[in-house]
Amino acid sequence: MKCDIENRSQWIAAYLTGELSQAEMSEFEQHYFQCEACFQELKIGRDAVNLIEREGPEVLAIPISGWEKVRQALSAVFSPRQWQTRPRWAFAFAALILLIVIGLPLGYLKYFSQTPSPESYAENFQPSSRLDNLIRQTYQSPTLFSQVEPANDSNFADEISFRWELPEEQKYAGAFELRILNNKEEEIYRFKAEQQRFHFDKKLAPGLYYWALLTENEMAYLGRFYVRRAER
Amino acid sequence: MAESQDVSLALRIARGDSEAENDFFLCFGEQIKMMVQARLPRKVPPEDREDLVSELQEAVLLSLRKGRFDPSREKPLGAYIAGIAGNIVGQYFRRKRKEKMGETGLRFEDSPAAGNIFADLIDAEREAALRKSLSRLKPRYKEVLLLRIYEQQSIEEIAEKLGLERRRVSERIHYAIQLLLKECTKANFLQY
The string of pLDDT tens digits covering residues A72-121 is 555 555 543 333 344 455 556 666 666 666 555 555 544 444 444 444 44
Domain span including residue A118: 67-227
Q: Give the model's pLDDT for residue A84.
A: 38
In a domain, B23, yes or no: yes
The mean pLDDT of chain B is 79
Tell me, yes or no, whether A78 lies in a domain.
Answer: yes
A83 and A41 together in one domain: no
Task: Let me know if residue B132 belongs to a domain.
Answer: yes
Confirm whether A62 is domain-assigned: no
Dmax over Cα atoms in chain A, in whole Å? 89
Contact A46 B155 (CB under 8 A): no
pLDDT at A10: 86
Q: Is residue A196 part of a domain?
A: yes
Which of B53, B126, B180 to mutate to probe the A interface, most A CBs <10 Å? B180
Strands A154-156 and A219-227: parallel
| pLDDT at res. A162 | 93
Residue A209 included in any domain = yes
Residue of A nearest to B114 (CA): A54
A93 and A114 inside one domain: yes
pLDDT in tens, A143-183: 667 788 998 889 998 889 999 887 776 666 677 889 899 88
Residues B10 and B86 in one domain: yes
Put simply, whether the predicted model's pTM sits higher than 0.90 gets the answer: no
Same domain, A34 and A102: no
**φ, ψ dihedrals at A178, nearest 5°:** -105, 125
What is the predicted pLDDT for the residue at B169? 92
Residue B154's domain spans which residues? Answer: 123-186
**Can you name the residues that pair with A197 across neighbouring β-strands?**
A163
Q: Specify the number of domains making up chain B.
A: 2
B62 domain residue, yes or no: yes
Chain A contact for B120 (CB, 8 A cutoff): no
pLDDT of residue A81: 39
A72 lies in the same domain as A142: yes
Is B87 contained in some domain? yes
Same domain flag for A162 and A90:
yes
Please indicate, yes or no, whether residues A80 and A120 belong to a single structural domain of this protein. Answer: yes
Q: Kindly list the residues from chain A whose CB atom is less than 8 angstroms away from the CB atom of residue B96.
A: none
Same domain? For A97 and A16 the reply is no
Q: At what angle do helices B5-14 and B46-65 cross, to 10 degrees?
A: 70
CA-angle at A137, arms to A134 and A138, nearest 5°: 95
Give, as one character, the DSSP assignment of residue A66. Answer: S
pLDDT band (50, 70, 90) for residue B168: very high
Most confident of A112-126, A203-217, B53-67: B53-67
Region A128-138 average pLDDT: 75
Q: What is the pLDDT of residues B130-156, one digit of tens each?
A: 888 888 888 889 889 988 888 888 899
Instruction: Name the minimum distance, in Å, from the CA of B48 to any CA of chain A.
Output: 17
What average pLDDT does chain A have? 74
pLDDT of residue A215: 76
Using an 8 Å CB-CB cutoff, list chain A residues near B34. 29, 32, 39, 42-43, 46
Say what the pLDDT of residue A17 is. 85
B85 and B139 inside one domain: no
pLDDT at A171: 65
